[in-house]
Amino acid sequence: MKNHHRLGVALFLIPAMAVFAVYFIYPVGFLVYTSVMKWDSITPMEFVGLDNYRRLLGDGVFHKSLLNTLAWGAAAVFLHIPMAIVVAMILSRKIAGWKFFRTVFFIPNLISTLALAMLWQFIYNGEFGLLNELLRSVGLGAWQRNWLGEMHTAFPALIGQWIFYIGFFMVIFMSFISTIDPALYESAQIDGATGLKQEWHITLPLLKPAVSIAVLLALTDTLKNFEAPFLLTNGGPVNQTMVLSLHIYNKMNAYQYGYANTLAVMLIAIGAVMVLLVRLLFREKDV
Amino acid sequence: MKVNMKVKSKKRSLLLLAVVCAVSLVLQGCVSGESSGRSETGGGEAAGRPVELVFSTHWVGEDGKAGVVQKIVDDFNAQHEGKAKVRIDSIPDDDIYQDKMKTNLATDSLPDIFTFYYNPVESQRYYSSGKLLDLKPYMNDSWAQNMNEDVLSIGRFDDQLLAIPLDQMITPIFYNKSLFEAAGIDTFPQTWDDMIEAAEALKQNGVYAFAMGTGENAWSAMLLYSYIVSSIGGPDVMRNGLDDPAYVQAAELLRQLFAYAPKDAIGATYQQYASHYLNEKAAMIVNGPWMISEFMEKGGEALAAKMGVGTSPAAQNGKGKQGALISGVGWTMAAKKQEDEKRAEYAAKFIEFFTHPGNAKQIFLESGEIFESTNYSIEDGDPIDPISQEILKKLNEAPQTFDYFEGMTSSAVKIEFPAALSGLVLGEYTPEQFVDMLKKANSE
């Protein structure tokens, strides 16, 4: 490449690089820098070396929030996305009313998390909740409980309020399926493959790029997860539903900005590892 | 040749365009940086234009003071038309509001005028930040005469006056007289043993004794805990750290009382547990006079007429006296330090106007909240609602006043309290472990 071409390319890259530096490199650099400080955001910072990182080892709430974040990610990968794939496959067969069902599945994505959280508060409420009413009406009154307030049910209930909102990924998968050449299905049909076999041997393998994107998006969403735990349980009871973002928020509110930023560095590191793993996993399988 | 020239000229144009784009982006960044730095403030310093100030408040929407606060702002704007204008920045939730002000303090983006809850630990952060306007030079004689100097002293720091205390936070134990009567309870419990007996009687009658929950900051449960701790350890117990055995004993009693709370108490937010009280499914709630407007709004005069004002029961061998009330300074009002003298002057003028006896009295009459720092007289003909009258009567009769727990501890303890409390109530923590959790948070 000639020198003036290189200069041209460099100049064109400047705006993007400037935005990247201002909105990513600087904040991350600042996080890393302040993660080794004791800082309440008001008085001057005090260098504490790796004390904040050592504190992570003994921070039971961090451990719990990390486990919950990973469990949420696992639920996204092994339940949420497979459900979206199955529904996308069924609706892509253009069954009767498929457009209606596509809209129904997608609608929750258009509603704010706040409104959905309010709705689920009413469903799970231990005093007048719809779920308890339903259980009572079918003779399962003994199963009634304060779903978001008990140690063993709070986290599953929190996952449960989100797991069925598959509309976003369903639409991604449906658009991918629509690009698959119909001739593949026709020839499979001639060879005697049933509908299920066609999905298994044709649709699923060809969906791999979409699955890769979906897994990546779902995992990064999991790491950023804040609104639902904040609004529905505030991390309780006894931190059973604590997630990393909420733990960071709490530490900031307690004026422990140095430690909050240490947690944020961990969040970024975990995100980076997740992205690498997903890319590695799907690259290995792509031939 | 011509073609080459054209190509070169095109390349030059593209390069020029790229440079222009890059420079404009940088300039835009500078401009937006400036504006973002001023995001919490109004503008209007330019000559001839009125000074615009932002007043961030949660006294908006359904809050009992929303109407009168809006009127005060409108009156101020009318009085200073063409010179200054105050704009309300609404944040309709006091918890979220407090969190936002903390973030604004940390990021140096405080609004021109704002409020924060008085707390000996947390207020120091605001005072020592160097970001608050010293109101002392603006306090003229007429303003000073309107204020109660004893209370004003808590806003003083390093020979400056950085905040003006507003309301007196009195939080009695509201109770439903009809539900008490139906359960055969003649008088409000005088001891905690009486309280458990009353709670049992209410339960037998199909009513929860206490409307409280562990969601958000567990407000009503925290206030009930404050009553129990102070009735055992005395009115000064919260000024001596968390080592007093009263904290553990109080935790055990609070755990027992949660057995008489609604089934959704673990995790219940204020809206949820308050609704049990307003729907007359629970007989008691610890809260401030700002709840009076909710009685009127949800149940009208009929519900308001059933409301009784209870005070602290006594603990066996406790240092606190029966009849005591939680009372202390609540919200304080402050202004951001300004570089522009005009802005500083009008911010101070607004605070003076807001705390003027006429306005303070109007707030009291409309919401029941007592402005502690402002001297105003109550006349016989003033339309004071019966619940506010009862609160004032009980306050005058109270042999002691108690602090409230959240107001005497750090933010870290405030955040830990609901988690530790839910563990206590669910049997995950012993009372000793509950207090240890609070101590650990306090030491971080």
**DSSP one-letter code for A25:** I
User: Confidence class of residue B26 from pLDDT cuts 50, 70 and 90?
Assistant: very low
Are A126 and B264 a contacting pair at CB < 8 A? yes
Q: Do B105 and A42 touch (CB under 8 A)?
A: yes
Q: Is residue B35 over pLDDT 60?
A: no
* B307 conformational bin, left if phi > 0, alpha if psi -120 to 50, beta if neither: beta
Contact B419 A237 (CB under 8 A): yes
Residue B405 confidence (pLDDT): 94
Which residues does chain A have within 8 Å of residue B210's beta carbon, measured at their own beta carbons? none
The arithmetic mean of pLDDT across residues B93-120, rounded, is 90
Contacts of B2 (CB under 8 A, 6+ apart): none
Residue B274 β-bridge partners: none
CB-based burial, A57-71: b 16+ in 10 Å, e otherwise: eebebbebbbebbbe
Which residue is closest to A154 within chain B, CA to CA? B267
Residue B27 pLDDT class (50, 70, 90 cuts) = very low
CB–CB of B277/B138 below 8 Å?
A: no
Ordered domains of chain A (ranges, CATH): 58-285 (1.10.3720.10)
C-alpha A250/C-alpha A226 separation (Å) is 11
Cross-chain residue pair B15–A256, CB shorter than 8 Å? no
Mark yes or no for CB contact A42/B129 under 8 Å: yes
Distance from the Cα of residue A2 to its chain's centroid: 45
**Predicted confidence (pLDDT) at residue B14 exceeds the cutoff of 80:** no
Residue B395 has what pLDDT? 92
C-alpha A166 chain-centroid distance: 12
Task: Look at B139 and B45; give whichever has higher pLDDT.
Answer: B139
- Pick among A20, A45, A62, A234 to test the B interface (most B CBs inside 10 A): A234
Q: List the end-to-end C-alpha distance of chain A, in Å, as a whole number.
A: 33
Instruction: Transcribe A229-275 into DSSP letters.
Output: HHHHTTT-STTTT--HHHHHHHHHHTT-HHHHHHHHHHHHHHHHHHH
Interface test with A, best of B415, B417, B437 (most A CBs within 10 A): B415
Instruction: Please report which confidence band the pLDDT of residue B377 belongs to, taking 50, 70 and 90 as the band edges.
Output: confident
**Residue B297 pLDDT:** 83
pLDDT along chain A (287 residues), means of 10: 78 92 92 94 90 95 96 95 95 92 92 91 93 94 94 96 93 94 91 88 92 94 92 94 95 93 96 92 64
The 10 Å CB-count burial string (b at 16+, else e) for B388-407 is bebbbebbeebebbbbbbbb
Strands B325-329 and B401-402: parallel
Nearest CA in chain A to B276: A127
DSSP assignments along B291-356, one per residue: GHHHHHHHHHHHHHHTEEEE-PPBPTT-SSPTT-EEEEE-EEEEEB--SSHHHHHHHHHHHHHHTS
Task: Using alpha carbons, select from A150, A158, A155, A233 the residue that is nearest to residue B426.
Answer: A150
A16 touches chain B (CB under 8 A): no
Measured between CA atoms, the residue of chain A closest to residue B440 is A59
Residue A286 has a pLDDT of 47
Check whether B271 has a pLDDT greater than 70.
Answer: yes
The first and second tokens of residue A283, run together, are 């690259």
Which of A129, A237, A256 lies at the smallest CB-CB distance from B214? A237
DSSP B87: E
Nearest to A237 by CA among B246, B266, B78: B266
Tokens at A200, concatenated: 């298994």
The continuous run of DSSP H or E covering B387 comes out as helix B386-397
Per-residue pLDDT at B120 = 85
Nearest to B106 among A42, A234, A239 (CB): A42
Query: In chain A, what residues touch B26 (CB-CB under 8 Å)?
Result: 18
Chain B residues in contact with A11 (beta carbon < 8 A)? 15, 18-19, 22
List all residues of chain A from 112 to 131 with a beta carbon under 8 Å from chain B: 121, 125-129
* Distance (Å) from the alpha carbon of B336 to chain A's nearest alpha carbon: 15
- Tell whether B267 is within 8 A of chain A (Cβ): yes
Q: Contact B26/A18, CB-based, under 8 Å?
A: yes
Q: What is the pLDDT of residue B294?
A: 87
**Helix, strand or coil for residue B209?**
strand
Set out the domains of chain B in order of their start, with CATH numbers.
Answer: 51-166+330-371 (3.40.190.10), 170-327+385-443 (3.40.190.10)
Q: At A74, list the tokens.
A: 């696992």
Rounded CA gap, A24 and A85, in Å? 33
Tokens read off for B56: 């961030």
ipTM field:
0.85
- B268 reaches A (C-beta below 8 A): yes
Count of CB pairs separated by less than 8 Å, A with B:
113
Please report the pLDDT score of residue B151 as a whole number: 84
Any B CB within 8 A of A9 CB: no
pLDDT in tens, B210-250: 999 999 999 999 999 999 999 999 999 999 889 999 999 99
Residues B407, B413, B419, B422: what is their CA dihedral angle, to the nearest 10 degrees? Answer: -50
The answer to whether A233 faces chain B, any CB pair under 8 Å, is yes
Nearest residue on chain A to B30, alpha-carbon basis = A22
pLDDT value at residue B6:
45
* Rounded Cα gap, residues A163 and A160, in angstroms: 5
What is the spatial distance between Cα B124 and Cα B409, in angstroms, rounded to a whole number? 12
Say yes or no: B121 contacts chain A, CB-CB below 8 A. Answer: no
Q: What is the pLDDT of residues B273-324, one digit of tens each?
A: 999 999 999 999 999 988 988 888 888 889 999 999 999 999 999 999 999 9
In angstroms, the separation between the Cα of residue A150 and the nearest Cα of chain B is 8
Residue B240 pLDDT: 86
Average pLDDT, rounded, for chain B? 88
Residue A246, min C-alpha distance to chain B (Å): 12
B43 confidence band (pLDDT: 50, 70, 90): low
8 Å CB contact of B22 and A233: no
User: pLDDT-based confidence at B422, cuts 50/70/90?
Assistant: very high
| Most distant pair of Cα atoms in chain B: their distance | 108
Chain B residues in contact with A154 (beta carbon < 8 A)? 267
Write the single-letter amino acid at B185: I
Q: Is B265 on the interface with A (CB under 8 A)?
A: yes
A92 vs B347: CA distance, rounded Å = 63
**Cβ contact, residue pair B262, A127, below 8 Å:** yes
Question: Minimal Cα distance from B100: which residue of A?
Answer: A253
State pLDDT tens for residues B45-70. Answer: 455 789 999 999 999 988 888 999 99
Which of B122, B210, B417, B422 would you mutate first to test chain A, the one with the most A CBs within 10 A? Answer: B422
